[in-house]
Amino acid sequence: MKRTVPVILLAVFLAGALAAGAAAGKRPHPSALKYPPLEIETPEVVELSLAGGMEGFMIEDHEIPVVDIVLLFRAYFPEEGKYGLSEMAQWVIRNGGSASWPADRLNDELEFLPADIEVYGSDLATLVAVSCLKKDLDAVLGIAADLIRNPLFPEDKIAQKRGTMIEEIRRQNDQPNNVARREYMKLIYKGHPYGWEKTPATVEAVTRDDLVAFHARYFHPNNALIGVSGDVTKDEIVSKLDAAFEGWRPAEVEIPPVPPVPAEPAASWNYAFKDISQAYMMIGHLGINANNEDRCAVDIMNFILGGGSFTSWITTEVREKKGLAYSSGARYSADAFARGVFYAFAQTKAEEYSRAMQIIIDQIEKMRSEGPGEEELRKAVDSYLNSQVFDYDSKAGMVRRLVMLKYEGRPLDTPERDMETFARLTVDDVRRAAQKYLHPDRLTVLVVGDKEKFARPLGEFGPVNEIDLAVE
């Protein structure tokens, strides 16, 4: 009798499984399923204009009692002999605290609330990100405003960050893929600030006075863009921001334009020794500006060529069919201020590097000469269009995107216009983009590995420039 219930349950389970299987047989194949058109509902964006000349955007979101704020301060490259200054300044502003909020007290208070304040960025922009519960907004804004206006720059924190940066430089050749990307950028952007590299000497050259001058030059309300999202109204946030930053005065801030990238470098073959059994390759040339009218066609071209993961030509040929690479693909970036970069990449056995490299070059040439088919284009465009939904799943992300577009001087409706452009693209559009923006005759090729393991010397392709990876 004790076994009756399990036996009955088993019979019921099997009957249900058989019925489900029979029902499943009547279902259409996934490829035959029809879906309604993708519709994205965009929330209302409100423009902000604050005291002192600060401008920005906000999106209300009352689902949870949280407020997110980002402030972006425009900046510029330091002198090359002090490269690393921006990184150091951003870290010390946050981790050095202010006179009113020394580092330890600041961290304890934010952890207790809880709240978060981060300072990070690049040479061309410093971002301050603030996140907290609505009930703590006044307190957290007061802390953030004090940190932004009155950073302390304590010598012990400067020394701590300097030591960390120098140790990172000392270890910068540990990962071959990082070596390949860094040295490739230096080759592509030779002579341009985008190709600069911090060294122990440039980090040592940065003084506390340099950090104070960095702050004094860029941290002014009329040089800031702000983005706000969360459980707050426009009237509330304007009132709270004006109170937190009361007395913060505008100042004259001059941000030079990013210099143009030098002329396209000629084809070159470059090698860096690394005692490993693999070879890491970067193959490419300069990319385009973000305002280029063919940017969307270039995006689709690169998606099919190497950006579309396992569906791309390079991955399919190099990794799937030939089994030559652990990883492979391509990137084609568009820079907002100068020019981006194009590079195809692969990590393969050292003895197989030349085969993988030739296949990659063949795919680049094929994209120029043949272009994609209709089905490839459709799938690539659908992938791009469908991915756009993730650009609208976060109000904070949407606000940050608007801030970045404003900072870059690009139309605020760029994402919406891009979707329309993607939907109109034809095979001929992508083929024309490939012919115009892919240059297999001007490739900068970099191979990182041990040439003693190469089945075919790199010198057979052309004169080789050997790169010394020693840290100076």
467, 271 Cβ separation under 8 angstroms? yes
For residue 463, the one-letter residue type is P
Asked if omega into 114 is within 30° of 0 (cis), the reply is yes
146, 110 Cβ separation under 8 angstroms? no
Longest dimension (CA), the chain: 90
DSSP state of 317: I
Q: What is the DSSP string of 397-427?
A: HHHHHHHHHHHHT--TTHHHHHHHHHHH--H
Task: State the pLDDT at residue 31.
Answer: 59
Distance CA 139, CA 248 (A): 18
Task: State the pLDDT at residue 333.
Answer: 96
Query: Rounded to 5 degrees, what angle do the CA atoms 363, 364, 368 make?
Result: 110
Helices within 275-373 (DSSP H only): 295-302, 313-314, 353-369
**Within its chain, how far is the Cα of 385 from the centroid?**
19
What contacts 130, CB < 8 A, 6 or more positions away? 67, 68, 69, 70, 71, 115, 116, 117, 140, 141, 144
Structural element, H or E, at residue 328: strand 325-332
Task: State the pLDDT at residue 393.
Answer: 75
308, 383 Cβ separation under 8 angstroms? yes
CA distances (Å), origin 270, targets 263, 389, 464, 466:
19, 41, 5, 6
The residue written with tokens 């071209």 in the block is 301
227, 70 Cβ separation under 8 angstroms? yes
337, 125 Cβ separation under 8 angstroms? no
Task: State the pLDDT at residue 36.
Answer: 65
β-bridge pairing 55-60 and 224-230: parallel
Task: State the pLDDT at residue 37.
Answer: 61
Task: State the pLDDT at residue 263.
Answer: 81
Tens digit of pLDDT at every position of the chain (472 positions): 333 434 433 444 444 544 444 445 566 766 566 666 656 667 899 999 998 999 999 999 999 999 999 999 999 999 999 999 999 999 999 999 999 999 999 999 999 999 999 999 999 999 999 999 999 999 999 999 999 999 999 999 999 999 999 999 999 999 999 999 999 999 999 999 999 999 999 999 999 999 999 999 999 999 999 999 999 999 999 999 999 999 999 999 999 999 999 888 889 999 999 999 999 999 999 999 999 999 999 999 999 999 987 789 999 999 988 998 889 999 999 999 999 999 999 999 999 999 999 999 999 999 999 999 999 999 999 988 888 777 777 899 999 999 999 999 999 999 999 999 999 999 999 999 999 999 999 999 999 999 999 999 999 999 999 999 987 7
β-bridge pairing 325-332 and 55-60: unpaired
Task: State the pLDDT at residue 10.
Answer: 41
Please choose, from the candidates 199, 218, 200, 220, the residue with its C-alpha nearest in 3D space to the C-alpha of residue 89: 218
Tallying the residues shown for the chain, one arrives at 472
Task: State the pLDDT at residue 384.
Answer: 83
208-218 and 85-96 helices, crossing angle to 10°: 90
Question: For the range 197-201, what are the long-range contacts, defined as Cβ-Cβ under 8 Å and sequence gap of 24 or more?
Answer: 197/83, 198/83, 198/84, 198/87, 198/165, 198/169, 199/83, 199/169, 199/471, 199/472, 200/166, 200/169, 200/170, 200/471, 200/472, 201/81, 201/472
Domains identified in the chain and CATH numbers: 46-244 (3.30.830.10), 268-467 (3.30.830.10)
Task: State the pLDDT at residue 5.
Answer: 38
The residue written with tokens 């930053």 in the block is 245
Task: Please name every residue paired with 57 in a beta bridge, in sequence order, or none if there are none.
Answer: 47, 227
391, 401 Cβ separation under 8 angstroms? yes
Task: State the pLDDT at residue 133.
Answer: 97
Task: State the pLDDT at residue 310.
Answer: 79
The encoded tokens of residue 411 equal: 């139309």
215, 87 Cβ separation under 8 angstroms? no
